[in-house]
Amino acid sequence: MRTQVVIVGAGPAGLLLSHLLGLEGIDSVLVERQTAEHVQARIRAGMLEAGTVELLRSVGLGARLDVEGMEHRGIHLQWPGERHHLDFVDLVGRSVTIYGQTEITKDLMVAREKAGHPAYYSASDVALHDVTGSPSVTFVDADGAAQRVDADVVVGCDGFHGPSRLSIPSSQVWERAYPFAWLGVLADVAPSADELIYAWHPDGFAMHSMRSPRVSRFYLQVAPDEDIAEWSDDRIWTALATRLAFSGWTLETGTITEKSVLPMRSFVTTPMRHGNLYLAGDAAHIVPPTGAKGLNLAVADVALLARALTASFRGDDTLADAYSETALQRVWRCTHFSWWMTSMLHRHGDDFDAQLQLAQLRRTVSSVSAATELADNYSGIPL
Ligand code: APR
Ligand code: PHB
């Protein structure tokens, strides 16, 4: 078959790109390795920057978000004996919204169905061809039939483990592995806090997040190779209560419905374009989740790329020629912020390091300029 844009990967980046191009009358075909159910079931961070919320609303994806999204003015930063609220609305005039990535993926899948953009799920042997000439993607579809999609442009939205970036021969990779991971927990219990709590603790970082008024999301810093079997529900609740402890505050417990160990890494590959191949989202970069940037950065890439490809199909290649350089400016800003939040809040190194972290935390909650810098980055520098 033939289309204008063939998109490898139907996660948030691929689905949103297909939606944005469709609104401009540009045809696309999605090719996804997993089933739609598998993609939808992935549990990921659910914190949306103000710009992401505005974009989703502006393209008809805000209905459920406006009802079920939980708008927050800011976050709490804490360390033993102290808890401080940073109010982003007071500091930079922008709020953030909790709305699970699984919900965004569901909304995007409904929109795709309605628009009728073709999507091949359960595709195997996916391969990219002639990306600097006349691109095509070949694959075996769910019924075992060999397929080929010829296109003007191919976009790799295939995440950290996808093949697209390997089709860029001279790509350069920057990577940082962290000496810790996150144990992520979902629990059927009402959140014990109104907004997110990021806690530094001698035992390790902990976070209290949420998914709805009845579902809480927690994270605990653990070793990179932590065995989840070592973490009973009781041990999880005890560690959370210890690391999130604050006088006069109680952590409510409930049934844990999901727990998993999530790796932490920073990863950037450049360039994000090679001929008629473009990369967007996790295919090009991975950030540690401390700064809640993963999904928001994928949205920023796709918003930029959709504008660039639309202009290019209409005869103006200026934005497309600048895509990689423009996208990477935000990628490196978000990579730095995510590294900074991660380095400040996670226990690693020696006691000297701990004193530096506590000094940074005290500075961030007591200085308007320092708090503003965090608020500006966390709530999202305008798209
Ligand atoms: N062929 C086709 N599809 C593939 C292949 C392949 N060879 N390899 C991977 N994929 C698919 C994956 O199954 C996944 O559905 O590409 C998709 C990539 O989606 P994500 O990994 O979710 O990445 P992205 O869409 O960029 O969204 C970034 O999602 O994972 C989170 O933390 C991340 O919040 C961030 C957001
Ligand atoms: C989440 O709710 O999963 C979440 C929120 C903020 C983060 C990371 C994860 O920084």
Q: Which atom of ligand 2 is nearest to the CA of 184?
A: 3
The CATH H-level superfamily of 177-264+348-379 is D-Amino Acid Oxidase, subunit A, domain 2 (3.30.9.10)
Give, using CA atoms, the residue closest to atom 1 of ligand 2: 45
Residue 90 CB burial class (10 angstroms; 0-12, 13-18, ≥19): middle
Cβ of 292 below 6 Å from ligand 2? yes
Task: Grade residue 203 by pLDDT with cuts at 50, 70 and 90.
Answer: very high
Residue 149's closest CA among 39, 32, 34?
Answer: 32
* pLDDT at residue 170, rounded to an integer: 85
> Which pair of tokens denotes residue 103?
């919900």
Q: Which atom of ligand 2 is nearest to the CA of 98?
A: 2
Chain-centroid distance of CA 255 in Å reads 26
Cβ of 294 below 6 Å from ligand 1? yes
Measured on CA atoms in the order 316, 321, 326, 328, is the torsion positive or negative?
positive
> In the chain, which segments carry CATH 3.50.50.60?
5-72+96-174+265-342
How many A from CA of 140 to the centre of ligand 1?
Answer: 18
Cβ of 379 below 6 Å from ligand 2? no
272-330: per-residue pLDDT in tens? 999 999 999 999 999 999 999 999 999 999 999 999 999 999 999 999 999 999 999 99
* pLDDT at residue 292, rounded to an integer: 94
Residue type at position 64 = R
Catalytic residues: 72, 198, 289, 293, 378
Per-residue pLDDT at 383 exceeds 90: no
Give, using CA atoms, the residue closest to atom 32 of ligand 1: 294
How many A from CA of 281 to the centre of ligand 1?
Answer: 8
How many A from CA of 37 to the centre of ligand 1?
Answer: 14
How many A from CA of 207 to the centre of ligand 1?
Answer: 25
* Least confident range of 2-16, 34-48, 173-187, 288-302: 34-48
Cβ of 14 below 6 Å from ligand 1? yes
Q: Which atom of ligand 2 is nearest to the CA of 291?
A: 10
CA distances from 48 to 51, 169, 297, 332, 378 (A): 8, 34, 10, 19, 10
125 phi and psi angles, rounded to 5 deg: 50, 45
> In the chain, which segments carry CATH 3.30.9.10?
177-264+348-379
* pLDDT at residue 44, rounded to an integer: 82
Work out whether strand 197-199 and strand 136-140 pair parallel, antiparallel, or are unpaired.
unpaired
Query: Angle, nearest 10°, between helix axes 50-58 and 294-313?
Result: 40
Task: Grade residue 5 by pLDDT with cuts at 50, 70 and 90.
Answer: very high
pTM to 2 decimals?
Answer: 0.97
Residue 84 CB burial class (10 angstroms; 0-12, 13-18, ≥19): middle
Residue 306's closest CA among 6, 10, 107, 26?
Answer: 26
128-177: per-residue pLDDT in tens? 999 999 999 999 999 999 999 999 999 999 999 999 999 999 899 999 99
How many A from CA of 156 to the centre of ligand 1?
Answer: 9
Q: Which atom of ligand 2 is nearest to the CA of 44?
A: 3
- The average pLDDT across 214-226 equals 97
What rounded mean pLDDT belongs to the chain?
97
Cβ of 191 below 6 Å from ligand 1? no
341-369: per-residue pLDDT in tens? 999 999 999 999 999 999 999 999 999 99
Cβ of 301 below 6 Å from ligand 1? no
Cβ of 37 below 6 Å from ligand 1? no
Ligand nearest to the CA of 206: 2
* pLDDT at residue 313, rounded to an integer: 98
Token pair 């005890």 is found at 238
Cβ of 69 below 6 Å from ligand 1? no
Top CATH class, 5-72+96-174+265-342: alpha beta
Measured on CA atoms in the order 273, 122, 124, 103, is the torsion positive or negative?
positive
